[in-house]
Amino acid sequence: MGGLHPFHRGAFELAARAKVPVVLLKLTCAPSALSKRLPIWKIADHMAVLTIEPFETIHPADSKLGSRAMCQAIEQRYRDLLGYPAPAGAASEPQSVGGVQ
């Protein structure tokens, strides 16, 4: 499984300005397809199925956080969900966004 790259605040800033919700999604593909672990010429035994699960909707207007703090809180939410450690130099006390910590 690949790592989780840092999130950038642009999408969160746009959502806050446009007053639209941010929908957190979890995407899974089983069996793995087109990953770095699987050569492109290796054909899977079964058809790959992509599953998209919305697991939370956050309304920036309901949050007291700015786009930068919201970005960090949501990135940490994904890290917790996927079992990735916090990046080096991350704040020790995560902030809460729409029920997300």
The b/e string for 57-92 (b: 16+ C-beta within 10 A; e otherwise) is ebebeebebebebbbbbbbbbbbeeeeeeeeeeeee
pLDDT surpasses 50 at 1: no
Mapped onto helix, strand or coil, the DSSP state of residue 89 is: coil
Q: Is the predicted pLDDT of residue 85 greater than 50, yes or no?
A: yes
Rg, the chain, Cα only: 16
Predicted confidence at residue 90, as pLDDT, reads 64
What is the separation, in whole angstroms, between the first and last Cα of the chain?
24
pLDDT surpasses 90 at 15: yes
Q: Look at residue 100 and tell me whether its pLDDT is greater than 70.
A: no
Q: What is the mean pLDDT of residues 5-21?
A: 93
